[in-house]
Amino acid sequence: MLLWRIGANVLPTKVNLQRRIQQADITCSLCKSDEETYVHLFFLCPFAKAFWTTVGWGFRFDSTSLTSNEDIISLIINPTHAPIPTDQHWTITLNMALIIDEIWKTRNHLLFHGGKVDVNKAMNNARIRFLEASKVYSPSSRPSVEQSVDVWSPPPQGWIKINDDGALSNSKSALAAVARNHLGIAISIWGKEHHLCSPSQAEAEAILWAVQIAIQERWSAVIFEGDAKLCFDPLSQPDLTPSWPISTSICNIHSLVSCFVSCEFRWVQRKCNVAAHEAARFALNSYCPFCFSYGNFPPSLEAACKGDYPSVSVV
């Protein structure tokens, strides 16, 4: 929509507004040193130049002939001197469009709310949005959504799969997470007590904890899997509204997704989530939190992991 407004010459830059309503100030909202035209705001302003340089894609516009809004749209749709293979040129267009959008958002925030310009923050916002959008349009980079209905299955190479579950007693609940790699090898098993709550709340808290663990471990591509359909449906389908008791947890999980390069949430049947289920029961009977590492699992959890995926030995 932003690109359409630029192409149609209806974006309210100060120079554009001057032509319509005769406003007095036409200086750039970001640098205050030149007229706020399309070309200046998005390419020649010191903030824009710093942004394009910092983003690290080799964009240089000093020698590019940009004189109008049509030139900008043509450049974005048909980028010249793209530094990547031809079949990936669409990522250049995507990245440039997001940078333009972030510059406009920064300009509006500064104009209407004040504060200071932060190139690093703007760059990080654009980077996160680029990663999110490129995942959608890059099927080859995403693991298949198909999975076995009978047994646990390993993630693709380069990914980590974390199965989670919650368990309850009369006085408390417990959370657990089991992380495995593309070979099906269990890397670590975590568990801890949690206050007494409803089953759905325990399941949602287990997923949130699993996400926090993955962030702490600095894993960039993670599949989160569990048997709580009530929780996983609103995570895998953001248009669904979660039930009220778990809405806060689901919202917190959504807010952390940007920490990953790639992230998916999958609901599976209980028989595909045995190791996490047993770990949650184990945590329910433990007196303190635990994190068991590869090669040091208690016999019951070792057997559960092996039962989940018999093709691999866990120790």
Q: Where are the domains of the chain?
A: 2-141, 160-308
48 has a pLDDT exceeding 60: yes
User: What digits encode the pLDDT tens for the residues 100-113?
Assistant: 999 999 999 998 88
146 — pLDDT class (breaks 50, 70, 90)? very low
pLDDT, position 138: 58
Dist CA 251 CA 246 (whole Å): 9
Residue 16 to residues 2, 28, 139: CA-CA distances in angstroms? Answer: 15, 12, 40
Question: What pTM was computed for the model?
Answer: 0.55
Interval 61-90 mean pLDDT: 72
Pick the residue with more confidence: 59 or 18?
A: 18
Interval 283-302 mean pLDDT: 90
pLDDT, position 135: 65
Percent of the chain residues topping a pLDDT of 90: 53
CATH domain 160-308 topology:
Nucleotidyltransferase; domain 5 (3.30.420)
295 has a pLDDT exceeding 70: yes
139 has a pLDDT exceeding 60: no
Backbone angles phi, psi at 228, to 5 degrees: -95, 90
Give the three-state DSSP class for 38: helix
